[in-house]
Amino acid sequence: MPDSFYLKPTLEATWFEDLVIPYDKVQKFEVVKRQITAMEQMLTDDAKSLEQDNNIEITYLDEGGEEMFLRLEMLTGITVAAQAVKCREMLDILRQNKILKLLNKEASANASAPAPASVDIVEQIQKLKALLDAGILNEDEFNAKKTELLARM
């Protein structure tokens, strides 16, 4: 939606009602790493592969001005890695539609230094790409850091 997030429950989620979060009420919005459960660690040989940036955290003010916290796991995509890709795509859409700039008021209010210039961010991404090409960073690490840097623009 052009002015808010609109969360609608699936048919199975009868306990959940439609939730509309206006962008101007969002205090903090970020994509974070998935929390791996102890069971997942025991049942998989490569638990680190499940630790992807596929969770969306939103801190917002409800209608009464009360601070609320919402953590959502991106469930589109067959694998956890594919879910992380969908999160990056969502960030790109928010950025392209200039919505990302409306979010993270908490971070901008607490920032003591000005945001780095776009040129500096491009240079940082170029340096990260060199590290990727040299094999120092893997593709997921490169994409996560690139997404973080682009969110600052």
Confidence of residue 68 (pLDDT cuts 50, 70, 90): very high
CA distance 138 to 131: 9
* pLDDT tens for each residue of 8-54: 877 776 777 888 999 999 999 988 887 767 776 677 776 666 777 88
> What is the reported pLDDT for 25?
92
Q: How far apart are CA 16 and CA 33, in angstroms?
A: 24
CA distances from 62 to 20, 39, 55 (A): 10, 34, 21
What residue spans define the domains of the chain? Answer: 4-112, 113-153
Distance CA 117, CA 68 (A): 32
Residue 105 confidence (pLDDT): 59
In angstroms, rounded to a whole number, what is the distance separating the alpha carbons of residues 80 and 130? 26
